[in-house]
Every structure is written in C-alpha cells, then in structure tokens.
Amino acid sequence: MNCNRRTFLGLAAATGAAGCVGARAADGNAQKFDDNLSVFVTDIHIGGKQLDGGSEAPTYTQGHLSAFVDEVLSMKPLPRRVVSFGDLAYLRGNPDDYATSKPILKRLEDAGIELVFCMGNHDRRSEFNKAWPGHLEKSPVPGKFVRVVSLGTSDLVILDCLQGADDRPWTDSGPVPGKLTKDVLDWCKKDFPKRKRPFFVSSHFPICDLRINDKKNGTFAIWLLENAPMCVGYIHGHDHRWRPEWSRGSWKSPKTIRTLCLPSNGLWGDIGHAIFRTSDDRAVCSLAVRDFYFPRKPENDKRPAVWKLKVEENKGATCTFLYDREGV
C-alpha cells in the first residue's frame, strides 16, 4: 500500500487511518532484515572444561566471539542468517565447548537471525546435537549435518565432511582432513544436477580434501564443473586465512570454479568474519578483518611488524562470484 497524503486522508475518513498505520508498521518490520544479506564465520574454537586432561582452552576466543555478535547485532538492516563453517569447538568437541559458546551465539537467534552450522574436524556431532537440538533433523542425509540454505538470490549447500567418529577417546582429535563420504556424495549426485538457481557448495574443509574416487582426476572440483551447471563457487574454513582462489577442471578445459577460504574468528591466523551479499547476477563477499596473530594471541602489545602489515593488506578485501557461467 502506498500511504501518500491523498490515500491517508481517504482512509482516515473511512477507517481512522488504521490500514495505513498498519502498512507502515509492516514495512518497518520487513526492513529490519535483509534476505540477501548473510554473515559468514568459522573456526571459532571456543572451549570450556577439557576432558583429556590437557591444557584449558584460551579465553580470548570468547572475547572475539562476543565482539563478533555485538558487531552483527549493530548492523542495519540485520542479516537474515549467520552461517558458522565449522570448528565451533576448541579441539575435541568437549561438552563444555558448546555450553560455553551457546549463550553468546544465542543472542543472534534471540534477535531473529537464523543460525546455520557446519561440522569441522574439531567438532563432535553428538555433543553439538545435544547443545543445538533440531539442526540435524533438517538434514536430507540421515546422521549428517547437510543443509540447503537460501541466501536470497542464490542458495548455499552445506556438506558434512567430518571424518572423526564420536566414540573416539577424548584424547583423540580425529582425522584432520575432510572426506566426501558415499552417503553425502550420493545425495549430491541426485540433487546438484537438477538445481535451477545459482548455488554455492560449502564445507569446513578445502575442496582439495574432497575426492570422488582415488583416480588421478577424481577431484570434487572436476565433478562440480561437469555435473553441477548452477554451482558458482565453493566456500570453506579450516585454514584460518582469507584466501580467494580458483580450482581448475583439467589442463584441456577453460572451466574453473572460484573458491574462498574464510578467516578464523579468533584462534590464530587471519582474524575476522565475512559479509556476504547477493544480488541479481552475483554475490560479493567482503572481509571484516579484526587482527592477525600466530601461533596464539600475545598477552602483551609486542607484535611483529608483519602482523600489522597483514591486517592492513586485508582491509577492504572482497571476493565476487558471478552467477553467469555460460561460455566457461
């Protein structure tokens, strides 16, 4: 409804302008969120009590997560969703890891922002599911955290490529690389070729970890290029750095797929998160850089000059994904 002056006077005479005021309130509520706006975060690595008898998790990652939540909640409009790309837990998926991070992250959910999670190599499905019940039920692959999420004008397909079994001892971190298991791959083979909208594939792990088979050319990147015509990019965490790249199909083909590695939210490496905005013909991911340190955040102000340089170089960094792949 367009509530101009003439419309308002007419409605006021008939209904006391209740319709116009209601329309304005509805419009204001709709503008609170942007369906095309998402925030991506990964490698949060928050820890509580560790059950392996080892050292306790660093507390500074909690501060980074709180600062991240504050920053998201200050956005106008708010993002429709926040996607966590894995390694929410510190090292081995301890129960207290999820118990420590949940009240911080729940502030986003309480504000009406959808929370979507991915499994990383430091997570445990069973302990995560206890802390965040209901997410596993949305998966089209039983027992795996696979999700399809709308990003506005495109979709995000999240794959569960965690290898670590939940019955492993608390002293066992499990395999570090990711793996595309048969159940997840079978679902991809049925789902991806028939998709009609542009979509992104994602997991915690880099695309080079994921293979269709053990043959020389059995890479997931080649399979996507040949079998998923609407796939426009691959997004992941794990490596703790902002790194736009591309992955090739073969030396004989000009086809490539753009990939993006996201920074850690707080443990080590490039520190920050990403703002992801979709439009009619593309999606642009912008880095919100906060810091850089390695191997851990220092307790004093002494920092190598190269750390500051890395932060300065990352400021303003973006990665653009074009939806149109015709002729490629």
The two three-digit tokens of residue 286, written as one number: 């912008």
In the three-class reduction of DSSP (H, G, I as helix; E, B as strand; rest coil), residue 213 is classed as coil
Average pLDDT over residues 28-34: 74
Give residue 326's pLDDT: 58
Average pLDDT over residues 138-155: 97
Give residue 20's pLDDT: 40
Q: What is the b/e burial string over 49-84, where b = at least 16 CB atoms within 10 angstroms of the residue's CB?
A: ebeeeeeebbeebbebbeebbeebeeeeebbbbbbb
pLDDT at 194 > cutoff 70: yes
Domains and their CATH numbers in the chain: 32-322 (3.60.21.10)
Containing 318, the helix (H) or strand (E) segment is strand 318-322
Measuring CA to CA, which residue among 134, 87, 124, 104 is closest to residue 236? Answer: 87
What are the percentages of helix, strand and coil residues in the chain, rounded to 5? Answer: 30, 25, 45
Give residue 128's pLDDT: 97
Give residue 113's pLDDT: 98
Confidence of residue 15 (pLDDT cuts 50, 70, 90): very low
Give residue 17's pLDDT: 35
Average pLDDT over residues 219-228: 92
283-321: per-residue pLDDT in tens?
999 999 999 999 999 988 889 999 999 999 999 999 999
Average pLDDT over residues 204-233: 88
Confidence of residue 12 (pLDDT cuts 50, 70, 90): very low
Average pLDDT over residues 20-46: 75
- Outline where 31-164 has alpha helix (H): 60-73, 95-110, 125-131
The whole model's pTM is what? Answer: 0.89
Give residue 8's pLDDT: 31
pLDDT at 153 > cutoff 50: yes
Average pLDDT over residues 5-21: 35
Look at strands 155-158 and 199-202 and give their pairing.
Answer: parallel
Confidence of residue 253 (pLDDT cuts 50, 70, 90): confident
Give residue 254's pLDDT: 85
Confidence of residue 214 (pLDDT cuts 50, 70, 90): low
Give residue 16's pLDDT: 38
Look at strands 33-41 and 269-278 and give their pairing.
Answer: antiparallel
Give residue 24's pLDDT: 39
Average pLDDT over residues 123-131: 97
- Outline where the chain has alpha helix (H): 5-15, 18-30, 60-73, 95-110, 125-131, 182-191, 220-227, 305-314
Average pLDDT over residues 57-71: 96
Give residue 56's pLDDT: 82
Measuring CA to CA, which residue among 204, 271, 269, 274 is closest to residue 234? Answer: 204
Give residue 218's pLDDT: 78
Give residue 51's pLDDT: 86
User: Of 53 and 87, which is predicted with more confidence?
Assistant: 87
Average pLDDT over residues 141-170: 96
- Averaged confidence pLDDT in the chain: 89
Q: What is the b/e burial string over 302-328, where b = at least 16 CB atoms within 10 angstroms of the residue's CB?
A: eeeeeeeebbeebeebebebebebeee
Average pLDDT over residues 101-125: 97
pLDDT at 9 > cutoff 70: no
